[in-house]
Amino acid sequence: MFDIKKKFPDGFLWGGATAANQLEGAWDKGGKGPSIADTLPGGKERFAIANSQKFDWKLDSKEYTYPNHRGIDYYYRFKEDIKLFAEMGFKCYRFSIAWSRIFPQGDEEIPNEAGLRFYDRLIDECLKYDIEPVITISHYELPLNLAKSYGGWKNRDLIKFYERFAHVVLERYHSKVRYWMTFNEINSAFHFPVMSQGLVPSSGANDFTNIVQSWHNQFVASALAVKIGHELDEHLQIGCMILYATSYAYDANPINQYANLKQMQDFNFFCADVQVRGKYPQTTARMLKEHDVDPTALEITDKDLELITQNTVDYIGFSYYMSRVTDVTSEHGEGVSGNLIGGVANPFLKSSDWGWQIDPKGLQIALNELYDRYQKPLFIVENGLGAKDIVEKDGAIHDDYRIGYLKQHIEAMRGAIADGVNLMGYTPWGCIDLVSASTGEMSKRYGFIYVDLDDEGKGTLDRSRKDSFYWYKKVIESNGEEL
Ligand code: BG6
């Protein structure tokens, strides 16, 4: 009865993850409308530019490049790429449906049939190889018109547009696709509201009231998608998706411990609490007060709350790249340069070339924390190392650093399973090199498959297998035994 589980369960979902805006390209083909991602320039300043007062959603300018326009040309090459996923033995493949391929402006009544036909073909291609599709309905790719003309997610109208979009794709694909997620990294608006809520300074991104209102609207929209999905088929598995970063207090100083507790409650748990437990956590009032949000300024109806309560998610999808450290006593004050979500440097950890602190044990902790709290199946739908790769003269790519990173994280997963955690699957991020979300670079590579394309958009776009490709194939073949 109390046997320790030493192995990954049978049917464990090994695979990989991508998002439409970061790889499809063909940004204005097949009737697709522009999305917010199509306005983001390439380069490390991407977020700083989007967060500046001057930013005005341009799709073209002499000053910048727009790498998401071309992605890695996947729209035209997906068959070749899925064949490579199949060669690695993928059991599942997580991807998103570009909202503006289906509703080019976001507010139309009738979907764009050409866009749907693309995903018909993509899904059928996965099924041809027995790869289970895992779909993110919305992954940082809001139709641009909904950001420009409606002001992003703070506007309640977006609930009905999302509902329409979710209805169309769930209805069309529910018989072929069992696993869904409603919003990618919904909590990430704490740090980059432009991506997850379509909010920039000119539409109120600097006012936390707008961020909270956007979250509420997204919670309602997410609950509606869960409702639609379960009405179509009660067996559909519809999850939330959060950006999880294990957070440590810098030291045993109770002041830091308490600040860290609040960091956990707000960043890691607030959104998941609503989507998993079906109600706002008791910490909400405190969090709003600390961000100067007047609760009476929020539009939240009883009907909304009922919908949220009645339509909770089936599993918890989350991304895990790094941990963070809280120190409010300012004695160790240096931030981690590039660590996406801030914090001070952890002296026990190394960082990636982009400054993200690498912490496999933190993943084991995350899995325990999430399972302790929610008792729902967990799905790691993003994890990986963004790194520069070198192509040898013979074409080989010896990415032992990536193998090392993934291996340690898979060991941590095995540890968490032995701790009693119910883990459904693992889809490392960017299983094929794609455009980085935070920097728009190609040189920040995560893939098992190399794509010949550089930061200036030059290259043949040819695909090739890295050492990690062969390694991951063995991991899957042995169900995680051979690392
Ligand atoms: C997650 C996103 O935050 O991290 C992905 O869901 C993103 O879209 C991934 O690509 C890695 O981040 P980056 O900035 O290295 O691409």
- Report how far ligand 1's centroid is from the alpha carbon of 2 (Å): 38
pTM tops 0.75, yes or no: yes
Does residue 429's CB lie within 6 angstroms of at least one atom of ligand 1? yes
DSSP-derived letter for residue 5 is: P
The tens digit of pLDDT for each residue in 223-246 reads 999 999 999 999 999 999 999 999
Among 221, 196, 242, CA closest to 304: 221
- Which protein residue has the closest C-alpha to ligand 1 atom 12? 437
Does residue 386's CB lie within 6 angstroms of at least one atom of ligand 1? yes
> Alpha helix (H) ranges present in 291-359?
302-310
* Contact between 443 and 454 (Cβ < 8 Å): yes
3-class secondary-structure state, position 35: strand
The tens digit of pLDDT for each residue in 10-41 reads 999 999 999 999 999 999 999 999 999 999 99
- Which protein residue has the closest C-alpha to ligand 1 atom 10? 437
Q: Alpha-carbon dihedral of residues 439, 443, 446, 450, nearest 10 degrees?
A: 140
Contacts of 168 (CB under 8 A, 6+ apart): 102, 111, 116
The tens digit of pLDDT for each residue in 85-137 reads 999 999 999 999 999 999 999 999 999 999 999 999 999 999 999 999 999 99
Q: Does residue 333 surpass a pLDDT of 70? A: no
Give the whole-angstrom CA distance, residue 64 versus residue 23: 19
- Report how far ligand 1's centroid is from the alpha carbon of 304 (Å): 30
Q: Does residue 391 surpass a pLDDT of 90? A: yes
Give the whole-angstrom CA distance, residue 370 versus residue 178: 23
